[in-house]
Amino acid sequence: MTTFTIQSGQTSTLVLNSGDVCVVQSGGTALDTIVNNGAVLRVSGGVASGALVNNGGVETIADGSDIGTTVNSGGLYITRRPFGKLITISDTVFNSGGSGEVTDAANVTSVQVRNGASLTLQSLVADVTVSGLFIESGGSVAASQLVRKLSLQGVEVGGLLRLLRDQGDAPIPLSGAVVFSSGGRLEDDFIPRHGGFVDPVSGIVRNPVSAAFAAAVISGLTVGATLDLAGVPWEGNISATLLPNNVLHIVEGSGILDLQLDPSQDFTGKSFKLSYLQSPNRGIPSGGTRVTLVSGSISQQQVSSLLIIGSGESSDGLAVDSGGSVGVNSGGSAADVVLDTSAILSLNFGAFASGVFDGGGLVLVGPGATLVGVTASGGGILNASAGAVIVGAHIIGDGAESVFGTDSAGFIDSGGTQSVSSGGSAVDTVVAAGDSRSFRAVAPAQT
């Protein structure tokens, strides 16, 4: 084990092997350092340029500058800024299998996250500005605004970009061009505060991503590209309209979200499909909304009488009128179903459905059937038979759920009622406090 300390001058092409540590202090420069398994390159006031971090190697930056580092598979790149110090990094490349945790680096420019690589950006004790972030298909970046501000300027998304924040915090601002290439995805998610569940008493924050997109221009959208908006609840009355100058106008209940798309892009012959997005955490009760660019026009199939979906068949976008009925048999599936008053959706053994909005109808989930993501409101009734599985039910506004089977990750909101009968189970159910709600179990049900 050898410790190298660079206090002045520079080194070039230093090879660090297992147990070796190189500390670059103020006045020192390390050029083209190779960091192999078990070795550490530590920048503490100096400059590192052209480092290569291989499998098992680690580079840490606590103070100073880092330029042109490449992080290969199994390599780790970490910034941790002590109070009063300054970190700037630029031209960093994360190759497949490489990972990084960039916290409190004041200035971050020209970062590439390639297929199979991952990067976490965080702001804790200092504001963080990232200028020029390229996420290749298969790469992922999670940006967490913890205490201080984090802003992204100029982003190209071919992989996954997740914006993570506490429910009470402002959205992470995006500015400049946000360019999507094929397969690019953007998510705006809440994260539990202090490691616990987000307190649902404060209610759903309507359209929390609007401020994040206010100064951004989203361009490069191709057919199949998606925007995952976890904070925009999926409900039966949600709509999207492309306005002049390519403003995508999304209306959800009383909330409005405008996304500025590239004004020069031609969306002729394309449409924006809205569908149910299952929420990845317990802070979002009913799941969010996914926006997908598709070819052609979107039209919901109106069902006014009886529709049977058989084995191997599927439906995508059903509007079931009052008195209408949809039956899904074994091997069939239905997605994004909206039920009017007195409409019926029946899932038989082996059937699957997702993204259901029950606005006063009846949803019957039979033994062996599965339903993922359902909102029952306005007198809507949800019934899970013994052997049925329901995930992510949101019961609100005089909606009611009877559970004889298995229910998990549910949310009982204002005016909603959930009844769990003998033999049934409700796991990880959130019952919002402070309103007139009823939650009861008939022994010996499991809750």
Answer yes or no: is 446 within a domain. no
Task: Tell me which of 276, 295, 314 is where a domain ends.
Answer: 295
**Domain check: are 191 and 337 in the same one?**
no
- The answer to whether 165 and 144 are in contact (CB under 8 A) is yes
**Domain check: are 239 and 276 in the same one?**
yes
Q: What is the tens place of the pLDDT at every residue in 39-82? A: 999 999 999 999 999 999 999 998 899 999 999 999 999 988 76
**Domain check: are 289 and 305 in the same one?**
no
**Domain check: are 137 and 272 in the same one?**
yes
Answer yes or no: is 332 within a domain. yes
**Domain check: are 259 and 307 in the same one?**
no
Answer yes or no: is 374 within a domain. yes
CATH number at residue 382: 2.160.20.10
Number of compact structural domains in the chain: 2
DSSP assignment string, 209-249: THHHHTEEEEE---TT-EEEETTS---TT-EEEEEGGGEEE
**Domain check: are 186 and 167 in the same one?**
yes
Alpha-carbon gap, residue 306 to 1, rounded angstroms:
76
**Domain check: are 399 and 323 in the same one?**
yes
**Domain check: are 70 and 173 in the same one?**
yes
**Domain check: are 116 and 139 in the same one?**
yes
Is the per-residue pLDDT at 204 higher than 50? Answer: no
Answer yes or no: is 224 within a domain. yes
Q: What is the tens place of the pLDDT at every residue in 305-342? A: 888 998 988 888 888 989 999 999 999 999 888 898 99
- Position 47 scores a pLDDT of 95
All residues at 6 or more sequence positions from 56 whose CB lies less than 8 Å from its CB, including other chains: 18, 36, 37, 38, 39, 74, 75
All residues at 6 or more sequence positions from 162 whose CB lies less than 8 Å from its CB, including other chains: 140, 141, 142, 143, 187, 189
All residues at 6 or more sequence positions from 138 whose CB lies less than 8 Å from its CB, including other chains: 96, 114, 115, 116, 159
Answer yes or no: is 146 within a domain. yes
Task: Tell me which of 250, 268, 295 is where a domain ends.
Answer: 295
**Domain check: are 331 and 195 in the same one?**
no
**Domain check: are 126 and 38 in the same one?**
yes
Task: Tell me which of 255, 271, 295 is where a domain ends.
Answer: 295
Residue-range definition of the domain harbouring residue 392: 301-441
36 pLDDT tier (thresholds 50, 70, 90): very high
173 pLDDT tier (thresholds 50, 70, 90): low
**Domain check: are 269 and 291 in the same one?**
yes
Is the per-residue pLDDT at 348 higher than 90? Answer: yes
Answer yes or no: is 259 within a domain. yes
Q: What is the tens place of the pLDDT at every residue in 12-22? A: 999 999 999 99
List residues bridging with 237 in a β-sheet.
none
